[in-house]
Structure 1
Amino acid sequence: MRPSRLWRAMTPLITAGALALAVVGCSSSGDDAKASASATPGQVSGTLRLGYFPNLTHAPALYGVEKGIFAKELGTGVTLKTSTFNSGVQEAEAVLSGALDAGYIGPNPAVNSFIKSNGEAVRIVSGATSGGAALVVRPDITSVAQLKGTTLATPSLGNTQDVALRYYLKKNGLKTDTQGGGDVSIKPQDNSVTVDAFTNKAIDGAWVPEPTASRLVAAGGKVLVNEADEWPETKGQFVTTVLLVRTAYLKKNPEIVRRLVSANVASINGLNADRDAGATVTNTALGKLAGKPLSDKVLTSAWKSLTFTPDPIAASLLTSAKHQEELGLIKNPKLDGIFDLTILNDILAKQGKPTVSDS
């Protein structure tokens, strides 16, 4: 069985913003479906509870909400309620408990949710972001061998970066365990405290997503491993963020999910049409959630490592799941059906763009 800590429910950090409303309880998807059925033809009504992180790797959500793309695509009949989280494990629990209908989330928590529910509870309906993760360490650490005896942080046990770090150490002959022991002590903690922990020398480094990686560099750290270099088989592309939907919600509210996927694609198109403007808008949204925007130096450094794409880069997700299995975090992962890209590929085809694969 998986370590119990991997599935420990945690209270999400809810950040209020112009469109960010706290999730309270679990609204009925059945009610949404009835409302949709009774709406005027061509219209849809209901509620969509959407989760995401105050991370640049979740830029399609940050940018889309800030620019009003989600509100426009969903239509006036759909109430959008957004919540922010600091870890995929937290957000996955919110999805599985029914507190969220959909969320931008890392591939490993998505896989874990699928397996935990015996392949029933969730579906990946689109990709969002590739890249944007690194191991940043003290400047005196120049090789993997020097990591022995150090303490490194990850966002949470079993999350995407946590698995990446553990697998990297394993293939380099360094042992870890889920209790923080072994050759390298791994300390899962919220990204919000990692920079201070590094500055105070409570940790020697961290494998984290952007912008935390660039913030660590700005605090005096150095990049020991750019995760893109660990994916030669996909030419440096690896999925960092996917769009996940509860299966029950998808079945009862297919038109709302279609509009959600359409909003995600529109946000990605906007980010790619003008990357500089996209960075500015995303940083504005991030500033509203985090209290202040990123410095120009950190934003520029972090932004260049990110690729925004609706392609979930399925090959990297499936490979990462195998890594989890080798680490003993999951057993016999059966992932047939984790992707439902039907809506996405229909949208892409209508835009004259290449469809994406689930294998």
Structure 2
Amino acid sequence: MKKRNLKNSILVLVIFSLLFLAAAGTTAASDLEEITIGYFPNITHAPAIVGVSENIFVEQLNGIKIKTKIFPNGSLFMDALATNQIDLGYVGPGPAINRYLQGADVKALASASTGGTVLVTRKDFEYNSVEDLKNKIIATPALGCTHDLLFRQLIKDNNLNTNRRGGSIDHRAQKPATMVGLFATKQLDAAVVSEPWAARMEADLDSKVVVDWNQMPWNGKLPATLVVSTSEFIKNNPELIENFLKAHQKTVEYINNNPVESSNIIQKQIKEITRQKLSLEIIERSMKRTNITSELDSSVVQKLADLSAELGFIKGDSNLDGFIDISYLNKVTK
């Protein structure tokens, strides 16, 4: 009898302990007082820049304090997400895909922008079609980056290849700032770059955009920037995620409905963050080549991953099943 009572007492204690832990976890999620959003001071991150500046996130998140963390590249962003320095934010598809396939906890919830990447040539380059890139010197910002993969698909679609893979195009990796000097000294014929670099090259060098953002592979539907978080944070804070995406969608609509005001906000915020001032003309031209949208086409993202694997930048399986979760976005936009 005593043994049975002891067992019952232990069972009751275990049940109460589990209920206490469950309640504690629920309280921690619902009582969240502050979140940290990560993003870059880039044109393609316009929803983050405008949403933070205009307090759209603050108003939608019911009093939760918003902290921000600015990043210079996707690798550092993904490090911060993995170590809980940020809770969610905006990053290019390449870094997010690579970390996911390496086993990291990352989920893509929405797009922030598509397009924004173009093929630009030196002003005296006689360009009529992609075939004119044969035996020319072409640059991309880095090997395996999103712009580089768009370039590889562009020439693949036209039965061309780079000298790195037995083709006729002299392909080089150069930082956009370096490309400007190479264009000026005629050491570079063309480049695939994102905005605002193309607009700056047009303004400063009379360079020509010969393949616009919506003429690039996949008709410009490849996300330039994704909204991402971790599955753990999403699971613990579903209401917050939904409200965040409501704010994100409101900001997307605000930018599209107020292009002049948005360009002014972006100009001001980029100057405050980077201490560099872009002219309104550059920003407005860049924004016309950047489609600000929350719509996320998972099939295009998968094609990007498959191409990256084909070219050897991703080792192993490129299957992105489980990477994208647009269920919260669908609730917001239905």
TM-score normalized by structure 2? 0.79
Q: For residue 299 of structure 1, what is the aligned residue in structure 2?
A: 283
Q: For residue 309 of structure 1, what is the aligned residue in structure 2?
A: 293
Alignment of 1:121-132 (within 5 A): 121-132=105-116
Q: For residue 25 of structure 1, what is the aligned residue in structure 2?
A: none
Residue in structure 2 matching 1:45, options 24, 33, 45:
33
Q: For residue 323 of structure 1, what is the aligned residue in structure 2?
A: 307
The percent of aligned pairs where both chains have the same amino acid is 27
Q: For residue 347 of structure 1, what is the aligned residue in structure 2?
A: 332
Deviation of 1:147 (Å): 5.4
Deviations 1:245-283 (A, max 9, x none): 122222233333333222211211211222222222222
Q: How far apart, in 2, do the equivalents of 1:90 and 1:203 lie?
A: 30
- 1:158 partner amino acid: G
Q: For residue 8 of structure 1, what is the aligned residue in structure 2?
A: none
- 2:44 partner amino acid: T
Alignment of 1:144-223 (within 5 A): 144=130, 145-146=132-133, 148-154=135-141, 156-171=142-157, 172-177=159-164, 183-189=169-175, 191=176, 194-195=179-180, 198-199=183-184, 203-220=188-205, 221-223=207-209
Deviation of 1:100 (Å): 3.1
Deviation of 1:311 (Å): 0.6
Q: How far apart, in 1, do the equivalents of 2:313 and 2:201 lie?
A: 28
Deviation of 1:193 (Å): 5.6
Deviations 1:177-198 (A, max 9, x none): 49xx984232153x56654564
Higher helix proportion: 2
Deviation of 1:57 (Å): 1.0
RMSD over aligned CA atoms reads 3.0
Q: How far apart, in 1, do the equivalents of 2:164 and 2:57 lie?
A: 41
In structure 2, the CA distance between the partners of 1:98 and 1:207, relative to structure 1 (3 Å rule), is farther
Count residues with an aligned counterpart: 305
Q: Quick check: 1:134–1:227 contact (8 Å CA) kept in 2? A: yes
Q: How far apart, in 1, do the equivalents of 2:236 and 2:244 lie?
A: 14
Q: How far apart, in 1, do the equivalents of 2:233 and 2:163 lie?
A: 38
- 2:227 partner amino acid: L
SS in 2 for 1:219: helix
Deviation of 1:71 (Å): 2.4
Q: For residue 284 of structure 1, what is the aligned residue in structure 2?
A: 268
In structure 2, the CA distance between the partners of 1:305 and 1:104, relative to structure 1 (3 Å rule), is same
SS in 2 for 1:81: strand
Unaligned ranges ≥5, structure 2: 1-22
In structure 2, the CA distance between the partners of 1:253 and 1:300, relative to structure 1 (3 Å rule), is same
Alignment of 1:227-246 (within 5 A): 227-231=213-217, 236-246=220-230
Q: How far apart, in 2, do the equivalents of 1:36 and 1:203 lie?
A: 58
